[in-house]
Structure 1
Amino acid sequence: MFNQILCIDDDPITLMLCKKVITKSNFCNEIITSQNGEEALHYFNTIKTLNTKNHPQLIFLDLNMPIMGGWEFLDHFNSVEYSEFNSIKVVILSSTIDPEDLEKAKNYPMVIDFLSKPITKTMLEYLRNKLE
């Protein structure tokens, strides 16, 4: 079981469903949400400022969001500025599985999977087995 997971998605219904499925599956203790990449980076900057060791072990990331989308978030998150978080794994959760996106995801070492929305209990079991 994970201690903390971050879900980044601009759709409140998707976030609510994510929280519900993750909670029912006993997949983690705490779920943090952000509505776009910029908000998520702000969250990580706050962690750095407070110098806390408590941070997400896993991120569920949507690609298409206003303000800052998933790819832009990954570009920033993959930089030296956020290198202290490079052990955090990212699972892209997208409503479209574009072969080009699947290929592009391979450029980011922290991305461990690319799954289709919505998140399900079966997906969480699959991830649990993959990450143990």
Structure 2
Amino acid sequence: MNTLRRVVLIDDDQVSNFVCESIIKGERFADEVISFEWAQDALDYLQHTCTEDPSNFPDLIFLDINMPGMDGWAFIQEYRKLSENVTHSCSLFMLSSAVDRKDIICAKSHIEVKDFFSKPLSPEILAIIKEEFIAEQQ
């Protein structure tokens, strides 16, 4: 049995999304993985899900920081505007190749962000999430 129903990936790098999807599916971490290369497209999807079908809101989001158009920080500002009744059960994690300490501190200062992980996503990161974040919700 998979740990989660739905995971959303938001990263402008197609290869990174492919690798993340493969690891998530290979580890049986989620039933469904939805990838977005544009943060605005992901936000549109989440807004639609909030209003039309809240039960299908993702359980977890992996968000990159540095993306063209809307970056991870701007995404978080817009994410905050979504219904807290829906978003409260979704865990948001930063997954980035950025290793600037300021980015890590900033990510952890956002209440919506559960944690910051450096790319690439790995089975070990998924195990940490299962143990430290998902187990506490159940």
1:44 aligns with 2:46: yes
TM-score (norm 2): 0.88
* Alignment partner of 1:96 is 2:102: no
**Separation (CA, whole Å) in 2 of partners of 1:12 and 1:37:** 13
The equivalent position to 1:8 in structure 2, one of 2, 7, 10, is: 10
**2:71 — aligned with what?**
69
Gap runs ≥5 in structure 1: none
**Separation in 1, partners of 2:100, 2:115:** 14
> Structure 1 residue 34: deviation in Å?
1.1
Runs of 4+ in 1 over 2 A off after TM superposition: 81-84
- Say yes or no: does 1:105 pair with 2:119: no
| Aligned-residue CA RMSD (Å) | 1.3
Distance 1:39 1:85 in 2: 17
The 8 Å contact of residues 78 and 108 in structure 1, kept in 2 or not, is answered as: no
| Gap runs ≥5 in structure 2 | none
Give the drift of 1:106: 2.5
Structure 1 distance, partners of 2:98, 2:20, is 17
Amino acid in structure 1 at the alignment position of 2:125: M
Structure-1-length-normalised TM-score? 0.92
Contact preservation (8 Å) 1:76, 1:82: no
Query: How far 1:52 sits from its partner (Å)?
Result: 3.7
Per-residue deviation, 1:20? 0.3
Cα displacement (A) at 1:58: 0.5
Equivalent-residue separation in structure 2 for 1:69 and 1:104 (angstroms): 14
The answer as to whether partners of 2:98 and 2:118 remain within 8 angstroms in 1 is yes
Quote how far apart the aligned CAs of 1:44 are: 1.0
Post-superposition CA distance 1:17-49 (Å, at most 9, x none): 000000000101000111122111100122134
The size of the alignment, in residue pairs, is 131
Map of 1:57 onto structure 2: 59
* Structure 2 contact 65–98 (Cα < 8 Å) conserved: no
The answer (yes or no) to whether the contact 2:108–2:116 under 8 Å persists in 1 is no
Sequence identity of aligned pairs in percent?
A: 32
3-state SS, counterpart of residue 68 of structure 1: coil
Q: 1:114 aligned to 113, 116, 122, which one?
A: 116
